[in-house]
Amino acid sequence: MSHPLKVTLTRRYRFAASHRLHSRNFSDERNRELYGKCSNPHGHGHNYVVEVTVGGPVDPATGMVANLGELDPFVQREVIEAFDQRYLNEEVPEFREAVPTTENVCREIYRRLKSFPSARLERVRIEETSNNSFEYTS
Amino acid sequence: MIRVTRKVEFSAAHFYHNPNFSAEENRRIFGKCNNPHGHGHNYTVEVTVAGEPDPDTGMVVNLKELKEILEREICDRMDHRHLNYEVPELAGQIPTCETLAALIWRLLDGKITRGFLDRVRVYESSDVFAECTLEPNGRASHSGETLGEKVRRA
């Protein structure tokens, strides 16, 4: 069967961080109305799960789209070290301006991982809680 | 279009080793997975079939038939086996979950009784999985046609 198949590899990572949803473009009252409890000035946190999907040809010599021995340290360095046990609003420079909604976190993690050299980044999916997930594809 | 997913599980042993690499290269590239004594996983395979439900049965595909196909093609072949030695279709390949996803796609292709094969996911653990789909331009255009039929028609 010569029909072209697409194979991707997905790996789940975890980090825990705090954040506060608050936009300086809105009044305090509008922030409370819009973001509700998430706008609490002292912040709150989540155990985030990040699913990273990479695609590309399966190397016949290794059977792999990407070697987890390369992907793991790359994600660790680019994302986990910068996000884990941090206050996203203050400690991740991009969120001093952008509101750290998980939509924006998804996009930022995608941006940080896009340069993975050994395979094409296909998707970043984040579970903020077991009930809420967000997905960013190119 | 509706997608229906059925899950099966199997347990198997494997290790990664490419005879064209030196012992040192094998260790560097494959790490602990290169241990010649092998190691094992509880694999979970999710098979997704897509299509429009049959108006008479309300089903995209009969799940009893799908279950039998998955048990025959996947579990009978791989459950409690050593993937490097006991699955002839994997001979000469490194049995990663990418390799398994592509093999399982090929084993199921054309055998699904109704709808078309949409996606095969192979979980090696809850944190690692490979997914096999058709490249976007290869997607079957309507339901009720297996990939096998589509390829024969083309």
- Residue B33, C-beta contacts closer than 8 angstroms, at least 6 positions apart: B15, B16, B39
Identify the pLDDT of residue A138. 78
Identify the pLDDT of residue B147. 40
In chain B, what are the domain boundaries? 2-153
Give residue-wise pLDDT tens across range A61-107. 999 999 999 999 999 999 999 999 999 999 999 999 999 999 999 99
What does each C-alpha distance from A74 to A13, A68, A93 come to in angstroms? 12, 9, 19
Q: Which of B20, B105, B151 sits opposite A5 (nearest CB)?
A: B105
Identify the pLDDT of residue B136. 81
Touching check for B93 and chain A: CB below 8 Å?
yes
pTM equals 0.89
Touching check for B22 and chain A: CB below 8 Å?
no
Identify the pLDDT of residue B142. 34
Q: Which of B117, B102, B121, B110 is nearest to B60 (CA)?
A: B117
Chain A residue numbers with beta carbons less than 8 Å from the beta carbon of B21 are 61
When pLDDT is averaged across residues A44-63 and rounded to a whole number, the result is 97
Q: Is the distance from CB of B84 to CB of B35 less than 8 angstroms?
A: no
Token code pair at residue B128: 């690692």
- Which residue is listed with tokens 């969120």? A95
The CATH homologous superfamily for domain B2-153 is 6-pyruvoyl tetrahydropterin synthase/QueD (3.30.479.10)
pLDDT beyond 80 at A60: yes
When pLDDT is averaged across residues A47-67 and rounded to a whole number, the result is 97
Touching check for B24 and chain A: CB below 8 Å?
no
Touching check for B33 and chain A: CB below 8 Å?
no
Chain B residue numbers with beta carbons less than 8 Å from the beta carbon of A7 are 98, 101-102, 130-132
Give residue-wise pLDDT tens across range B80-98. 999 999 999 999 999 999 9
Angle at B67 between CA B63 and CA B68, to 5 degrees: 120
Residue of A nearest to B110 (CA): A1
Which stretches in chain B have pLDDT values below 50? 140-154
Pick the CATH number of A8-137 from 3.20.20.70, 3.30.420.10, 3.30.479.10, 2.20.28.270: 3.30.479.10
Give residue-wise pLDDT tens across range A100-132. 999 999 999 999 999 999 999 999 999 999 999
Name the residue type at position A78: E
Identify the pLDDT of residue A2. 52
Question: Over the Cα atoms of chain B, what is R_g?
Answer: 17
ipTM of the complex: 0.88
Identify the pLDDT of residue A3. 67
- Contact across the interface for A11 and B127, Cβ inside 8 Å: yes
Q: Which of B106, B126, B136 sits opposite A1 (nearest CB)?
A: B106
Give residue-wise pLDDT tens across range B122-143. 999 999 999 999 988 765 433 3
